[in-house]
Amino acid sequence: MKLLMPYITAGITPDWTSYVQAFASAGADMVEIGLPFSDPTLDGPTIQEATSVALARGVTLDSICRDMSELSVEIPLIASTYANLVIRQGAGTFCRHIRHAGFDGLIVPDLPLEECAEVAEHIDLVLLASPATSDARLAEIGRRSKRFVYAVTVMGTTGERAELAASAGALAERLKVRTELPVLLGFGISTPAQAAEAAGLADGVVVGAAVMRRVLDGAGPAEAGAYVRELKAAMSGG
């Protein structure tokens, strides 16, 4: 079975948790929930816009954790944010906070491999790999990551793209011989056809900006959930 993890920016709308419920009902295997940060350097214009909207609404880590009490889903929920938020509270305090709220794992894209041990003591830490990562480092990432390895298909920021990056297949292949964890491809996967192509190369896909563009353009939970269902169907050959 190929894994699908759609993304939602926490606090993007007052009913943002309804999107998580809709994604789970649509067949998502996990949901990545972005914790807004004022300087999202790895994100492109769409998720930057979503982050700005959430912050303008006054969203905080505490309010997100309170909102999480509304959720009752059977799939893993993976938080993603930047190292500044984690370090400011202290790794142990931050991770206990989000685990208590219901998060099962954490992605911190700007946390160096050499500095991730303390965070990894407190929560399942998902690590990223890129086309520029050396084979030796890929093996270490595969050894230390939890749940899956997030394979970044391009050397750039998140965002919708017209086609799947040519580097995606080679990166997935290099990773799959160095880890027993599922390898999920992300960054730039925008359409059901691209999701199907990526799923044929790896164990699953992450879709972020394409989901958030729909939400920013007014799609409600049902409409966004229908898009996730389309992605899942395409990945399954349906």
Residues labelled as active-site residues: 32, 43
4 close to 207: Cβ distance less than 8 angstroms: yes
Give the H or E element holding residue 129.
strand 128-129
> How much is the CA Rg of the chain, to the nearest whole Å?
16
All residues at 6 or more sequence positions from 57 whose CB lies less than 8 Å from its CB, including other chains: 11, 14
| Structure token pair of residue 56 | 């303008």
Query: Residue 90 has what DSSP assignment?
Result: -
136 close to 101: Cβ distance less than 8 angstroms: no
Query: Residue 68 has what DSSP assignment?
Result: G
Q: Where are the alpha helices (DSSP H) in 11-152?
A: 16-25, 45-56, 61-67, 83-89, 91-101, 117-120, 135-144
| Other C-beta atoms lying within 10 Å of the C-beta of residue 177 | 10
- DSSP code string of 133-178: S-HHHHHHHHHH--S-EEEE-SSS-----SS--THHHHHHHHHHTT
